[in-house]
Amino acid sequence: MNTTPPAIDYKACMDACQACVIACNTCAAACLKESDVQMMAACIAQDLECAQICELAVAAMARQSPHAPDICRLCAQICQACADECSKHSHDHCQTCAAACQQCAMSCNLMGMQSH
């Protein structure tokens, strides 16, 4: 069994993706507690999409998958869409999520430029 840790260059991106997963799940849960949940529907949907692609990206990078750069490029697009949606809302959880998504999008864009 090979227990070699992920390549160093994946670490920052994996950390950004994991922080984004937490921010997106926290935001989605907080949005569900808002008085007008329907108004937050697009935000919740983006949060869930973003959290899932970030989890996939972390797993691909941890495995050093040859598909990791492609997954990271897609992750960056979805993170940017989530950041755009969350930034429309003034709630603290939305602003925190938007910032995490922006950071993750930047990290994933850099990782997407890598080739295996």
Average pLDDT, the chain: 92
Please state whether the predicted TM-score (pTM) of the whole model is above 0.75.
Answer: yes
Does residue 1 form part of some domain?
A: no
Does residue 96 form part of some domain?
A: yes
Does residue 99 form part of some domain?
A: yes
Does residue 56 form part of some domain?
A: yes
CATH number of the domain residue 14 falls in: 1.20.1270.360
> What per-residue confidence (pLDDT) applies to 114?
75
> What per-residue confidence (pLDDT) applies to 106?
96
Tokens of 24: 């997106």
Q: How far apart are CA 43 and CA 47, in angstroms?
A: 6
Percent of the chain at pLDDT > 90 equals 86
User: Could you tell me the residue range of the domain that residue 97 belongs to?
Assistant: 8-112
- DSSP notation for 60-103: HHHTT-TTHHHHHHHHHHHHHHHHHHHTT--SHHHHHHHHHHHH
Does residue 70 form part of some domain?
A: yes
Tokens of 37: 């949940």
Our count of domains for the chain comes to 1
CB of 1 within 8 A of CB of 49? no
